């Protein structure tokens, strides 16, 4: 019998890549998504799809009775700006929604390994020079990062108190095909659309702020690795937390120039005032993921941006043929 995984948020950008990876490895995949931001077109035809909201009793019943071997938990409110404007909504989705599922795992009594999609860039802040290690100080600025960190504390507690099998993956700025312009790495999607429209690329500030851009396919590989390797016993917050990035700082200027190059487009770059509260530098140390998970990124930034821009261009062409 095939091993089973439920991917919450599996109709979304990252979640659909995770579902694809598990299907490719021969797993039985169930996707739980309310389609508030995910797309039906992202759902693999060979996966079972359940439409549902992670905060509901129905979602809890699915997790409790499903007896899944693994739960990749990606369903979340992902817009940092919305978290600032409406922190109660953000906490309801990102903290209470996760607790609803964790209580269901506990009630089900099955040894489900939960892989939580956390954040690296929004967790560590600007207090230590990059690349940030898992043990670095954590003082997130936006409610989005606060909710992710709070959830990690809950997961560590569930591991120590109830013996649940939980892992936190702290992503860098994930980009790739199917991306939407929201979330931490939305700039890649925004730039791709602007290049296809022949519009200028808007860079805020001087463009020298850096991020750690990691390809979605590599992130899917990290989820599969976290699902299948032996892990250290549950412990304090960082015991089962792993940075998933490239350890490379890439400036917004470099990102824009690389995308212009791979697209052969000539859109100008325009500069706008810096946005308040934006991190100056961010990159994640991945030594721990390499040594414990056996994972490291395989796709270079240029390769990933080529794949991503091509996917946006193909989707644009398909849409135009339908009209």
Asked if 278 and 208 count as a contact pair (C-beta separation under 8 A), the reply is no
How far is C-alpha 227 from the chain's CA centre?
16
Residue 154 bears catalytic tag:
no
Whole-number Å distance between alpha carbons of 8 and 145: 19
Whole-number Å distance between alpha carbons of 286 and 294: 11
Q: How far is CA 89 from CA 79, 128, 162, 295, in A?
A: 11, 30, 28, 34
Pick the catalytic residue from 144, 158, 175, 213: 144
Asked if 316 and 196 count as a contact pair (C-beta separation under 8 A), the reply is yes
Burial class (CB in 10 A: 0-12, 13-18, 19+), 28: middle
Backbone angles phi, psi at 4, to 5 degrees: -120, 140
Contacts of residue 26, defined as CB under 8 A and 6 or more positions apart, other chains included, come to: 2
Asked if 200 and 268 count as a contact pair (C-beta separation under 8 A), the reply is yes
Which stretches of the chain are DSSP H helices? 13-24, 57-66, 80-85, 87-91, 97-108, 121-124, 143-162, 186-197, 216-228, 252-263, 287-288, 301-322
Which stretches of 176-251 are DSSP H helices? 186-197, 216-228
Rg (CA), the chain: 19
In this structure, the strands spanning 250-251 and 210-211 are: antiparallel
Q: Which pair of tokens denotes residue 53?
A: 């909201």
Whole-number Å distance between alpha carbons of 293 and 295: 5
Catalytic residue list: 144
């Amino acid at each position: 019998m095939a091993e089973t995984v439920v991917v919450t948020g599996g109709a979304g950008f990252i979640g659909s890549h995770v579902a694809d990876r598990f299907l490719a490895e021969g797993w039985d995949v169930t996707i739980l998504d309310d389609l508030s931001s995910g797309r039906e077109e992202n759902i693999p035809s060979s996966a079972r799809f359940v439409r549902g909201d992670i905060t509901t009793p129905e979602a809890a019943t699915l997790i409790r009775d499903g007896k899944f071997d693994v739960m990749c938990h990606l369903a979340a409110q992902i817009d940092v700006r919305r978290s600032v404007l409406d922190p109660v909504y953000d906490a309801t989705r990102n903290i209470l929604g996760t607790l609803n599922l964790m209580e269901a795992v506990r009630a089900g009594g099955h040894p489900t390994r939960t892989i939580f999609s956390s954040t690296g860039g929004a967790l560590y802040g600007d207090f230590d020079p990059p690349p940030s290690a898992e043990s670095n100080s954590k003082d997130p600025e936006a409610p989005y990062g606060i909710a992710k960190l709070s959830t990690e504390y809950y997961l560590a507690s569930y591991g120590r108190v109830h013996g649940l099998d939980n892992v936190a993956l702290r992503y860098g700025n994930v980009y790739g095909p199917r991306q939407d312009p929201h979330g931490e790495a939305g700039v890649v999607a925004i730039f791709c659309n602007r290049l296809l429209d022949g519009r200028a690329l808007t860079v805020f500030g001087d463009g020298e702020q850096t991020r750690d851009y990691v390809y979605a396919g590599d992130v899917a590989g990290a989820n599969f690795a976290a699902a299948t390797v032996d892990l250290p016993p549950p412990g304090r917050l960082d015991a089962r937390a792993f940075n998933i990035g490239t350890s490379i700082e890439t400036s917004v200027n470099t990102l824009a120039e690389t995308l212009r190059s791979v697209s052969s487009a000539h859109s100008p770059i325009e500069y706008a005032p810096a946005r308040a509260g934006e991190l100056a530098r961010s990159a994640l140390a991945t030594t721990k993921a390499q040594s414990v998970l056996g994972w490291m990124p395989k796709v270079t930034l240029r390769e990933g941006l080529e794949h991503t821009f091509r996917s946006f261009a193909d989707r644009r062409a398909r849409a135009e043929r339908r009209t």
